[in-house]
Structure 1
Amino acid sequence: MALFLALMISFGKTAPENPMDRNRADASRMYLLSSTLDMDMDQLANIGNANINAGDSANQAEQEEQQQEEEKQEQNQDTPQQEQQQNQDTQNPDQNISDPNIQNAVAADIPGSLMNLIQKNQSGGSGNGSSDQPGDDQGNGSGDGTTGGNSGIPSDGGQQTTLNPSQSAALFTTSLKDGDEVTDPEYPFTVDLTEKGKQLTLVSMTVNLNGSGRICRSRDSLTLKEGANSVYVTVRFRDSKYNQIDASTKIYTIYYYPENEVELVVRNARTGEYINDQDALTVMQDSFWIEVRARKASGGVINDVAARVRLNNKIQKADSDGIYRMGLTLGNNQLKVTAGEGGNTQKTLSCTVNYKIDNFMISFESSIRTEKISNNPGIGDKVFKGITKLKYASTSGDFSFRVRNSTVTGVEKIDKIQMTNRYGTLDITDLAGADGYIQITLDASRSTDIKVYCTDSDGEPQWYTWSVTYERVLDPAENQRKAPVIRADVTNETVNKNPFIIPIKVFDYNGNELKANQNFTLYLNGAYQDYHSRETDGTYEYNLVLTEGPNTVVIKAVDNEGYTAEKTLTVTYNPVAEEARVRVIVSGEVLGLGTMIDETITAKSDQTVAQIVEDRLAAHGYSTIHDGVADADSYFLRHVMKTGITDGWSISAEERSLLEMLGYDIAEGPKNPNSLGERDFTAGSGWMVTLNHYYIAQTMGTRPIRDGDEIHLIYTLSVGKDIGVDTSSSIYD
């Protein structure tokens, strides 16, 4: 029968499939065979198409594939456009950044650091409005990917990141010009990827014209409507880990003026919103400010034409800055703007402006901020349907606040107060004490969102959100007691294998597993490193490409309560292999076969665990059946054979009792007396390998040996439960 080495994944699933089925087995890992276990598989996140039309397109995926091929051809033929839009203030609908790492880097050197940031594995985030402006409702984005799989895609691929316009400029540029005036409705434009953008996979390009989107090419054109047109471009990329990056430009305004026709554009000078003919507007201020733009094209030349503004049939005059500041009367006010000299070329815009007094407000009171929310700017600091971002620095995450509302007509009320954190969303309305204060505990791992739903004086629903980020003020003594524990199976040492694998596991003072890139990061010689794989016990394995000589490895951790830890190691790489003394043990105690090999050898330190195992088995007369080669991640050990290897086998009563309790059927005899391996005796039988008393998860073919290593190859009948391997911690007792 055969000997195999396998990576065990978590036990306890109901009738899962056999992980050693070769059609599903991952050649880059070792799996412990068991028909009661299911091999972990990569599940690619569902990458959505970039179609932003109001209706769905049935052949969207086909369009994107065709577009990618066309883009490759065009990029080979065309010279990249050099014109870039610099630091525009106008925001587009995709301005918010879902990755907190990118948010923190906005003020830094974006172009230089963007590629590293967007290739970091993300664990989802919240889309937030500005702390100084009203924003849209909260939207949470999350993603997950399971470890393992034949594709080699990292475990957390499939995440989504949205860049703001200034960050998007690091990936692509466009020829669109804000405020451009043209006399031809066909407006050509270009989209060119930067060098950084070319390092990613192009998924799609879309252009949005006046709220309607479509797939576009790098050389394309738009058909403009008369007057002002709003345009922006979104480019969707995918990185090597199948993470999705959406990059968008700012919103550009482009004006089209037909020949010999007057075009009239009226805009709210306070909000920037365009005003259309026959609009019915409602405002809470006693004055209304507008900007008027009237232009006419004649002979290809565009010139200003006179405009007249009337409010309630009274002529209005613009101030020196061109803005019409008009006082309103309570109730409906009639606004009329006329441009041109009469006849067919004259344009008129008429609308109603309803001035109402709204005294409804809610107040948010806490130790870090007190503010009023109202749609009446005269009494509110902010308007409804927005977000305020707050920071709370304290030695404790305990936080108290209260929300109160004004009463005008008697229908006003607070309907609900919700708290959202990493655990989910909870209705905390009933937690208010006699004084109205609500006490909650903030989480340092992510912001805590407090969303208030209320009914205003007109019986209309309103809402507002306060997003509170907690920063723990650390007491050194307390942090020392509660600091995260960083376990790295490496010391300050010299190695001869490159890349060098470092397994890292980090947990908080309560023993909870902490996540890479969310709770801890690893740096090699000052550069951020992403992990290669994550195992079921919470161990992350990093494949570090070392430089010759000393290399500094720094691991920084912050747990969900804000406690911190840092570990620094020096790993010296010497490409000249040195000698290492290694102990090799092969045992089959669970079958009464005792210890088959137990010896200490001297070998070159550039060899892998698999090479040593193969060498020592051969030296003792054993042969193996395996996939791949012993010094690569393709290596996968299946069977070890030797005449009479199972002679004298026996299963103790204690072992039988354990197997029966775990639900295993026991075969009364080996399938082949000359083989011992997967699925012999029980469905959970096979070989496990430990290195220095830790169950190693990554394939033996990439794990280099070091001086003093102990390699133990152990036969099990119950996926490690009968031999003392704790797969949740990887510890072999």
Structure 2
Amino acid sequence: MKNTKNAFMKYKNYIYYSLVVLLLFSTITYATTSNEQAAAFDFNEKVEASTLKLAGGGDESSDTDTNKMIESDANPEDVSKSQEPTNTDKSQEKPEEKPQNQPLNKPGTTHAPLNSSKTADKTNTSAEGNNKPAPEKTKPNTNTDIEIVDVADQQNRYFTTNIKNNETVTDPVYVVTVNHLDDSLIPQEMNVTLNGKQLNDFTGEITFIEGTNDIQFQVIYKQSDNKLLRVSQLYRVTLNSEDIIITTVLKDQTVMEETLTFTATAAQGEKDAKLKVVSNHQELKPLAGSSYTATLVEGENTFKLTAQLHGKKAEQSYTVIYEKEKIAISLETDLKDQQANSEDFSFYAKATANEVDVPLKITVNDQLVKSSDGSNYSVQLMNGANTVKVVGQYEDEQLERQYTITYKDPNVNEKPQVDPDAPKLVTDLKSGSTVKGDIKTINVWPVTASGERIRGKNVQVQVNGANIPFTWDDSAKTSYKLTLQTGKNNVTIKVWDDEARTVTETFTVTSVAPAEDGVIGQVTISLEASVLGIPYLIKPTKMDIHQGEKGSYILDQLLRNNGYEYGKTGNLDSSFYLRDVSKPGMLNGLHIPDDLWEVVEKVSTTSNRDIYSPDSLSEFDFANGSGWMYSVNGDYPNYGFSDAYFLDGDVVRVRYTLHYGKDIGGHDSSGTSDANWDKEW
């Protein structure tokens, strides 16, 4: 025992210091492990909006002071198309921009993705190597101040990107465009992760690694009530730079048209591969860029796409079945593909089925034309090729015919297009035309050689050498207001694509000075509510047009002259939007067609045709997509009344719509095409 005690006394100092070192090491280890955990997102933190703008767009940005946040994961399978704002349309896409002449709760999309913010949220991570990326499961809401909303199974109404989920690419560098769908939501912050790693310096480009890549976009929005909304979307993209990849819109399908147009490209890594396209054993040559057109035979048609580069080869085959349309409708017309000698062109068209007249819808260059007697038509042709479409329907049978009328304007000095990949310019401005007054509005539809829309930032319009800014620019067209001098004016339009290929055209326009009283002509204008079973609230009325007079002033005079009061946003000189009109008994005899109401109820968030005032008609009456719009000579402008300048002979229809113009043929003015309903009420 004594020996044991002596041994303890001898080594007690060593034992004491060993215990101290062990305790210190445990403390350091615990602190290091604890600090590795990521701090939770502070939902009460003020978020500073990024000012980075991509894809030529812009977003409002502001500091956010809020105490509530909604988290949302959008299904990547639902993001291939833009949706309607605030989920008002359950079946249609949401338009890109809302012109001032459209219902106010139809906000336009902006094209401004945001860079990563200083307060990056790290609660969502990208998919880990699964066969298909999926949104992270919503965690239980432990904070009563935070409302968690799972919209994975709902329509995406927040933002989309140009990334196609599950696509295969050959170039590792991918330029991303983010398209915000709801103007009422202000983007505050965007975080991007690639394969689980956050891209802190994201400026619009992503560099993929070979193989599978999982990308997550997370955007924080500020809502109108100052609450925050967080939306995440996942994508999977495969980079294959070793093999030849053929990309095409071709697919196995059955069609009713004899002509099939499609695009196809081939590449290995960043190098283009020579592509051979064979249809029914005959090689097709591209029309422009990557666009091909094939004339089908009745029955099966085979397409074989072959590409070779550096000893490697890729092939794809498709079968397209052409079923010739069986039409019971008989069409009598003198229309045919032909050359016209004058811009003034007349034709005859009448359709019957079972000895019954079939109503026809006829458009020239996508502009609806009317007949004075139901069978004879007169139109003005543009320089170049003019497309005439004739459509009629009888019971379940549908008639569709298309003709090309070519007119060469002797005042236009046409030059052959040397570069087949150069952009194409289409405009409603006619060289050699005469305008009464000093203002003329024009529209421009420029596209690349492959048919992609060229936006206003790549268009230059000059009048007598002076640059003219665009009035409105959306995904459908770009509009300009030309200020002319009395006499001859030279108008130059220049368009270029992203590869700096350009096309330039020059037009001559003559301006005639107004009379002494300033009148430059007359416009025919009406107020209509045909969707409510009331053709005219104000029948077509001729109104004088004065030099430089805005359309908003003419509308104001029309309404007041007919005893109507009206509400508006903006003023007669700027941002004018017709919100409502009122007059005692104006809606007497109202009857919404049943077939129209059935569609409106199906696609609207809110709808009720039994609650209304017989003395007024306003936006949001009957349904959430209702409001006032207007057309000029059958075309719905993408700008408001205060930016409109009417010309002598113009026909203006101010019309009420129950769903964003889709029921009156006016939805294209939002910047989206093929969005109108089949029938116009």
TM range (shorter): 0.3 to 0.5
Using the size of structure 2 for normalisation, the TM-score is: 0.40
> Is the radius of gyration larger for structure 1 or structure 2?
1
Using the size of structure 1 for normalisation, the TM-score is: 0.37
Between 1 and 2, higher relative CO (CA 8 Å, sep ≥ 6) is seen in: 1
